[in-house]
Amino acid sequence: MDGIEGGIAYAASKAAARMFTRCLGLEVARHGIRCNVVSPGSTDTAMLRALWSGEDPDEALSATLAGDPGAFRVGIPLGRVADPADIADAVVFLCSERARHITMHDLLVDGGATLRA
């Protein structure tokens, strides 16, 4: 989540997790320990559905995917909300030997919503 109204504590905790990961990663790298953080975007969870409470679920999903350019929200370029398995697959990858040279990284699993290209 990039800065949005009402999201102070949530955004601050995500920023803290990123910086904690970088600092811890520096301290333990000499022991061969890697530290990474996974930052999921909109994911089909109870938390997301609670944000949509009182709205038609199909309309809420469409609004999430489309974003709101007037509020500087781009939506989700890949056109879908993540499934929890998408996030779990990213974690499994980072824990695997295939990611053995990745450390102090913030892996965005958000369908392109943050536009960090």
Point out the residues that are catalytic: 10
Q: What is the 3-state secondary structure (H, E, C) of 31-69?
A: HCCCCEEEEECCECCHHHHHHCCCCCHHHHHHHHHHCEH
Tell me how far apart the alpha carbons of residues 18 and 57 are, in angstroms, rounded to a whole number: 32
